[in-house]
Amino acid sequence: MGKHYPHGNQHRRKLKDYFFEFFMLFLAVTAGFFMENMRESYIDNHKENQYISSLIRDVQEDTAEISEVVKASEFQIKGIDSLIILLENPVSEINTSKLYYFVNRYLSTLKGFSVREVTITQLRNSAGLRLIDNNSVSDSIVIYYGTYDSHVDQQNYNYKIFQEMTGMEMEILDFSAYRIKGREMTIDTSHIKEFYNRILIFNSMLSNEADWLKTYQKKGTALLKHLKEEYKV
């Protein structure tokens, strides 16, 4: 005759088995959840480090370019100072060949600066700034690029001043003298005073822009130091 187990023991065993299966399923789900979180955290950290490395390269290029622009601007300002002194002579005493030389050498270009926006554009478009957990770092990045963005209108105005001044050059001087042999260098003196004033404004603008760039370069240098310290680069 076969053995019979009490009904209560069967019920307790089934309940025990059910609890064990539930517990194992809970462990599996929890472990999977934590593993997924770890994987996402690793990916996010990897992306964050990539963005920071790219930002560092961008800002390093910014600071290097600013040095070149400031150097060119200071050279240009010095030359324009000589041109201004020349134009402060009575019109009849202005050395025409010197005037043409100074205008051609110091008023023909405007070397500007544009911030590198490749990485910050990616961060903005992909909401990548959320990956940067360090608030002081994210704030420093936002301030650095925001400072430049707020200066763009001034840069556009500077370019407008430059265009207006070079347009007046075309009215006062005849640059065909450089191409046509025997053509005399002449000056249309009817707008010489206005030309002088525009040169003064342009020179002042160059000086102000150079000062702004020096200040902005300091912001870039401080940002680089902060990024390298925080990310041990």
Alpha carbon distance 142, 1 (integer Å):
85
Task: Using CA atoms of 175, 177, 183, 189 in order, give the dihedral in degrees to the nearest 10.
Answer: 40
Q: Does some domain include residue 61?
A: yes
Name the one residue in this structure whose structure tokens are 């870039």: 220
Q: Which domain holds residue 50?
A: 7-231
Q: What is the pLDDT of residues 100-151, one digit of tens each?
A: 999 999 999 999 999 999 999 988 887 777 788 788 999 999 999 999 999 9
Q: Does some domain include residue 122?
A: yes
Higher pLDDT, residue 91 or 40: 91
Q: Does some domain include residue 156?
A: yes
Q: Does some domain include residue 2?
A: no
pTM of full prediction above 0.85: no
Q: Does some domain include residue 130?
A: yes
Q: Does some domain include residue 21?
A: yes
Q: Does some domain include residue 126?
A: yes
Domain count, the chain: 1
Q: What is the pLDDT of residues 48-60, one digit of tens each?
A: 888 899 999 999 9
3-state secondary structure the chain: CCCCCCHHHHHHHHHHHHHHHHHHHHHHHHHHHHHHHHHHHHHHHHHHHHHHHHHHHHHHHHHHHHHHHHHHHHHHHHHHHHHHHHHCCCHHHCCHHHHHHHHHHHCCCCCCCCCCCHHHHHHHHCCHHHHCCCHHHHHHHHHHHHHHHCCHHHHHHHHHHHHHHHHHHHHHECHHHHCCCCCCCCECHHHHHHHHHHHHHHHHHHHHHHHHHHHHHHHHHHHHHHHHHHHCC
- Average pLDDT, rounded, for the chain: 86
Q: Does some domain include residue 1?
A: no
